[in-house]
Structure 1
Amino acid sequence: MAADQSAPTALVLGGGAVEVIRSLQLAGIPTAVVSTPSDPSKHSTYARSIFTWDWSQELDKHDEALADRLVAWALTQPKAPVIFYSSDQALIFVSRHRDRLSRGFRFAIPDADLVEAMVDKGLFANLADRMSLPVPATKLISPEQAAAGVPDLSDLGYPLIIKPERRDRSWRDIKDTDEIKVKALVVESAERLREMWPTVATLGHTLVAQQYVLGAESEIESYHVYADETGEIIAEFTGKKIRTYPVSCGFTTALAITDVPDVLNMGRKLTEQLDLRGIAKFDFKRSPDGELLLFEINARTSLWNHPGARAGVNIPAVVYADLTGRPRPVMAAHPRPVTWVHPKDILAARASGESMRSWAWFALRSQAKAFWNWRDPGPFLGMAISRARSGDFT
């Protein structure tokens, strides 16, 4: 859909912005981006790049000077732009500088304390305990405890997972035995814990040890929601991972938009319980007995917004409408089945034993594809050129 250039601009902050741009493009919303230097979203013909910014820097680098720079740009626009944030760093930046940014922008964001708790896994563990959220058994390990020696985690049972309070550059230097970066480390036994402890203990962060919920990554399901300033749920859908890379504790490479009643009901219940406002994604894993266990909440836009929009629930579009006083677009009461695929899914499919013929047919039939759009090939080509130059094809 052609963008209405007389409408306020939607400004997307953070890495991985291209899938958010796709959802805004489908609604005909003019879009700009402040992406990372390596993010291919800046090559999109549907989004003008204001400037690039390294969102992976330490949080104190995203300071008042950056906020003032953005506000100065916003004040040159005919109408106040709408901010969307597509990474945790961008979310925290907007939350911590919300008063300053509100001088030039419009945005929807949860309460500041709730934002901090959703981004920091240590704070989230405390929030979950305080509010009796349905999370797996969890223990926090302070840097001092980590330095004192290998902790006794036998009460969590094995296997378990270890993850940092926040994934930053130091965590990205941690690799598993296959030398592949992962979201969390799976620890199969006390012996394995002793082997890896000298490495993870030096990170200097609070570590989160959590009971591992048995089952494939395809048992991970999610609830996606937008609640307006009164707390009313305006748009929602559910989703399910198909594959990740790496296969265990990896990043999503294929997913499906679903319409699953118990996930909807659990998501609605938690949205109300947390008194949440704005956009959020609740991640659950279904245990072998069918119970939904909550892993994390992300209060930001994400790659799921693109397939969600193609399924009939364009969450960024309805947020934009509310913030700009425009009529809300119609949201499907029951989203259409849609699958989304990332180029790296070919690696995930191969690792899981799927034939290349079967994978090619799946990818061809997927209604949403990461990076690729026939009318906007720039992000895909930019990604391919960047990886070719770096030699990173994994």
Structure 2
Amino acid sequence: MIEISKKFDQPPVLILTAEQAVHSVSENRDELSRWFRFRLPTDKSVKLLSSKADFHDFSLRHDFPVPRTAILESPCDVALLDQLTFPCVLKPDDKRSALSGEKERAIRVDTLKEAREHAAAMLETPGGIVAQEWIEGADSNIYFTLFYRGDNGQAVATFTGRKLSCYPRNVGSTAVCIAAPDAREVLEPMTLAFAECAGMDGMGSMEYKWDDHHLKFVMIEPTVGRTDWQEEIATLCGVNIPFSAYQYELGHPVASPEPRQASVAWRATLIDKLPRHLRTGVTNMVDGYFRWDDPLPALKYYCLNDPLRRIVQLAQQKSPSARPGMC
């Protein structure tokens, strides 16, 4: 990275997009700050917010709404699952263990027996896990607020969106999403209040789910120090958060972008479909890889990066035995 920076007349703005990169830059920030312009929370805050267990404890201490959770650090802690109401979701405490393939990213379990079996298997590899009680609601109950915070907590840019479907169902990544102006007045102040409390400077986001039983939003997990999977829906709706961050860090004036009431939806791939009952008002579907004026990313992704896997994925989505969409 330093060798790349030496090619520029001025330190370039560094915008991170991957979990591992956030930790690498955070741990080497003193040296890298001589060569790049970037904004991150303190390393202590990066580590706290990257741990689902620490995030849960922090949220409880500061009265932010989170699902009831058991923290399992070793096989001896499996007994803590007895305290939960099922179904639940099991996740690795540190997302990097899922990205490296050491643990499953997320598993929904419907019974205590099933939870004990999966928890024991996940704890065979280094690192703890968390078990969160399931928040009732469909995929479309998932919301998110993206942001960039500058000096003194200034909200440089914010955007609130809503997932319409996930893949895999129940516990997957965003498949289709849209803007959510109706939730903005509730979620953006809550997100920025959490960011202020936790010292979340720079790029970040918070994911929520609307609880159909208790009729309230519950925090699921934050993203710290990097762009999120849903960043492009914000840009399509007029809020280009990375560009606003770039302008801000260069000291240029940043106009306060207001999200447009766009009828656009973003989908991760051509395979992902907009749920039929949620199509009202959506007139434009934008693919995550394909553009007529820039087709090469789609060519590489769909034709060169394991096309057989795309066919299998499509077949799974069309399977009538698949469980109705929940996330």
Q: Which runs of 5+ in 2 are unaligned?
A: 314-327
For the 8 Å contact 2:45–2:199, the answer to whether it is kept is no
Give the letter aligned to residue 191 of structure 2.
Answer: G
| SS across alignment from 2:37 | coil
Return the offset for 1:224. Answer: 1.3
Q: Write out aligned runs for 1:85-100 (5 A).
A: 85-100=16-31
Superposition TM-score, scaled by structure 1 size:
0.71
Return the offset for 1:144. Answer: 4.7
CA spacing shift, 1:170–1:244, aligned 2, 3 Å: closer
Q: Distance in 1 between matches of 2:101 and 2:252?
A: 42
Q: Write out aligned runs for 1:1-394 (5 A).
A: 70-145=1-76, 150-167=78-95, 168=97, 172=101, 183-259=105-181, 260=183, 261-288=185-212, 289-299=214-224, 300-332=226-258, 336-343=262-269, 345-346=271-272, 365-366=284-285, 368-388=286-306, 391=309, 393=311, 394=313
Superposition TM-score, scaled by structure 2 size:
0.85
Return the offset for 1:331. Answer: 0.7
Q: Distance in 1 between matches of 2:35 and 2:221?
A: 31
For the 8 Å contact 1:71–1:103, the answer to whether it is kept is no
Equivalences, count: 307
CA spacing shift, 1:280–1:197, aligned 2, 3 Å: closer
Return the offset for 1:123. Answer: 2.3
Return the offset for 1:273. Answer: 2.6
CA spacing shift, 1:170–1:226, aligned 2, 3 Å: closer
Return the offset for 1:264. Answer: 2.3
| SS across alignment from 1:136 | coil
Percentage of matched positions with identical amino acids = 24
For the 8 Å contact 2:67–2:133, the answer to whether it is kept is yes
| SS across alignment from 2:302 | helix
Return the offset for 1:297. Answer: 0.7
Return the offset for 1:388. Answer: 3.8
Return the offset for 1:337. Answer: 4.4
For the 8 Å contact 2:147–2:155, the answer to whether it is kept is yes
Q: Distance in 2 between matches of 1:344 and 1:126?
A: 39
Q: Distance in 1 between matches of 2:281 and 2:173?
A: 19
> Over aligned residue pairs, what C-alpha RMSD do you find?
2.6
CA spacing shift, 1:230–1:335, aligned 2, 3 Å: farther
For the 8 Å contact 1:221–1:284, the answer to whether it is kept is yes
Q: Distance in 1 between matches of 2:127 and 2:266?
A: 34
1:165-208 Cα shifts (integer Å, max 9, x gaps):
12325874666xxxxxxx31111111222443442231232110
For the 8 Å contact 1:253–1:342, the answer to whether it is kept is yes
Give the letter aligned to residue 95 of structure 1.
Answer: S
Q: Distance in 2 between matches of 1:322 and 1:193?
A: 46
Q: Distance in 2 between matches of 1:97 and 1:286?
A: 38
CA spacing shift, 1:295–1:389, aligned 2, 3 Å: closer
